Structure 1
Amino acid sequence: MKPHYLLPCLGAILASCGFVVLAGSNVGANPQAASPIYGVTISEGYRQWELVAPAEEAEPLNELRAVLGNAVAINAYREGTLPFPDGTVLAKLAWKHVQSSEFESASVPGVATTVQIMVKDSKKYATTGGWGFGRFVDNKPADEAQHQTCFACHEARVQGHDYVFTRYAP
């Protein structure tokens, strides 16, 4: 399946899980803004990448999330390749979780909260497991303090999965 056909698939998957999907948001699409510490930017065209997996984050964040991967990431997931190869890029989109007013068992994305990016470059990011991190709020990189916690959290919880939380939803 070609990547530009996948956004409708993401909608269908989320809808089948009880989510109502609103199209047209492009929050975080400012590829010139680089994250502090890592210098990671939001990849152009990331909204057309394939879905790795949807997720829901309970309190206190109360978010709906979708993780997308570039072609390198998707191939690695499908082949079960660990560690992920250099060139892997993952994008996590997050929205506030809102109860649907039209359908009581459905959720809808509310306000966009963040776009988070992980970039695999084992030489450039050797001190952080080969990964660079970017967290973007309202099209702007979050502050340095928020980026300092990225690797520590991944290292503490998912070191055995090449520091990546998200598992592939086939």
Structure 2
Amino acid sequence: MKKIRILVLGLLAASGWGAVASEKTPEASHGIEYPSGWQNWSTIAVSHRTDNNTLRVILGNEIAVKAARSGKVNPWPEGSILGKVVWKDTELENWKTAIAPGDFVHAEFMFKDSNKYSKTYGWGWARWVGLEQEPFKNGAQVCTSCHTPVKERDWVFTDPAPFPALN
């Protein structure tokens, strides 16, 4: 079962999904502008949360992906942007042992800028909810509270997935 989950999550990460339903740029979240083009960023990792039955793909901008591939992530370099795209998990109709993305939940981002976000541990935190990408209304304190257990890891839960080296 674990191998099937890994396979499904890997296929999900490699596929071209993720288009947001609207063409309009969403409003800022916590004073942070929506990161246009994130749907084309590279995958850093995938995860399946069993406590709330969600699938997550963790993406990064070019700076973050380079850091993830080289193992230089504690601390993450300035200018890194990490994106987490979240769906409720669902069972595939024709492959009952496979887990796949169901309803879209949200896209959330961490923006590394130690000067600009010095009050929130060097990270700007933003979230857009639903396919409409409505800005999350609660404060960034919610994010830092949840991420406190990984403050020694530069406030990041994600372990970058190993990728084969390309020639």
**TM-score normalised by the chain length of structure 1:** 0.80
Tell me the residue number matched to 2:20.
Answer: 27
Matches within 5 A, 1:127-138: 127-138=119-130
Provide the aligned length of Structure 1 versus Structure 2: 152
User: 2:116 corresponds to which residue?
Assistant: 124
Query: CA deviation digits over 1:99-120, x for unaligned, max 9?
Result: 1110011112111001001000
Q: Is the 8 A contact 1:76 1:84 kept in 2?
A: yes
- Selected match of 2:136 from 142, 145, 155: 142
**SS of residue paired to 2:152:** helix
Letter in 2 for 1:94: V
**Counterpart selection for 2:8 from 1, 14, 18:** 18
The two structures have a TM-score, normalised by structure 2, of: 0.81
| Alpha-carbon displacement from aligned partner over 1:43-86 (angstroms, at most 9, x marks no partner) | 11111111000100112x21011000011001112222221121
Q: 1:11-37 CA deviation, whole Å, 9 max, x = no partner? A: xxx98623574854423876441112x
Shift of the 53–24 alpha-carbon distance from structure 1 to 2, 3 Å rule, reads closer
**Residue 35 of structure 2 aligns to a residue in which SS?**
coil
**Paired position in structure 1 for 2:165:** none
| Runs of 4+ in structure 1 over 6 Å off | none
Q: What aligned pairs does 1:150-165 form with structure 2 within 5 A after superposition?
A: 150-154=143-147, 156-165=148-157
What aligned pairs does 1:5-84 form with structure 2 within 5 A after superposition? 17-19=7-9, 21=12, 23-27=16-20, 31-36=25-30, 39-59=31-51, 61-81=52-72, 82-84=74-76
Specify the alignment match of 1:98 in structure 2: 90
The aligned residue for residue 3 of structure 1 is none
Unmatched tracts of structure 1, length 5 or more: 1-13
Whichever residue aligns with residue 99 of structure 2, its letter is: S
Root mean square deviation, CA, Å: 2.3
Asked if structure 2 preserves the Cα contact closer than 8 Å seen for 1:28 and 1:115, the reply is: no
Going from structure 1 to structure 2, the CA distance change for 1:32 and 1:108 (only over 3 Å counts) comes to closer
